[in-house]
Chains A and B, each alone.
Chain A
Amino acid sequence: MFPEFIEKLTQEVDGADNAHDVMIFTLSTCMWCKKCKTLLKDKNVKYRYVDLDKIDSGEKINVLKYIREKYKPDRIAYPFLVCDDKFVIGYDPNKYEELLKPGGN
């Protein structure tokens, strides 16, 4: 679960596989983010996303600060995928596979 200020920004994509809580922070213009969304959809994974370029500056800073403080990534690149308490920076199908497999993560 995410803080309320993030939850209210999310779009949900339904899927039969809801074994994990999957959230992606994305850019609507980003080719890698589109690939990530397509991969999750093809795998029938239920997920939520926030397109950071579509929210206002105040919301952006709050989301970015949250990501930095919560996950302490080396940097933030897109898509930034969170699966339960693990995260993946940038498009990486192999890492997604590991996290999303039954019993993974």
Chain B
Amino acid sequence: MDMETKEGMKEYVKAVSQKNDWILNKDQVTFDNLIDGLVENKKKHGYQSCPCRLASGNRDLDRDLICPCDYAPDDVKEFGACYCNLYLRSDFYETINTEYVIVPERRPLEKENAVLEHFNE
């Protein structure tokens, strides 16, 4: 699949959701916005970094942000949604069913600081 295209990215996130027993956000506007962001980051950085976080452009520093990010499993389990709300818990629409879920940032602060230092170099 060509993840630099919308269709390819949709295939990718669908495969990720199936593998993890998650579902994808059914709100078409939100979903399309997130796919657009992932495609843009894939084209810009060479990897699909989380569209809702500031990537450094350095793969090693951004590794934890490559979608699905390292924090998605815990966030989906605890809050019913990943940070971006792209991936949802399988029972989301039966139990939570809100327009969106605000998920607190789980990324360690030291990783954010490392990105800042990277820009400073």
Chain A residues within CB distance 8 Å of chain B: 27-35, 52-53, 57-58, 60-61, 64-65, 75-78, 90-92
Contacts and interface: CB of A to CB of B under 8 A. Distances in A.
Query: Chain A contact residues: over half helix, strand or loop, or mixed?
Result: helix
Nearest to B56: A57
A31 B85 contact: yes
B119 A34 contact: no
Interface residues of B, number: 23
B109 A75 contact: yes
A77 B52 CA distance: 9
B34 A90 contact: no
Nearest to A53: B54
Contacts, number: 57
Instruction: Give 10 nearest A-B pairs by CB, closest first.
Output: A29-B37, A29-B51, A61-B119, A30-B52, A57-B119, A31-B33, A60-B119, A61-B120, A77-B105, A29-B40
A28 to B, nearest CB: 8
Given A61-B119, A61-B120, A77-B105, A31 B52 contact: yes
A27 B52 contact: yes
B37 A78 contact: no
B112 A76 contact: yes
Contact of B105 (A29, A61, A64, A90): A90
The CB with the most chain B CB atoms within 10 A, among A29, A33, A61, is that of A29
Interface string B27-63: 0001001101110110000000001111100000000
B47 to A, nearest CB: 13
Nearest to B112: A75
Contacts of A57: 119
B15 interface: no
The CB with the most chain B CB atoms within 10 A, among A28, A53, A58, A76, is that of A53
Nearest to B55: A53
A78 B54 contact: yes
B116 interface: yes
B67 to A, nearest CB: 11
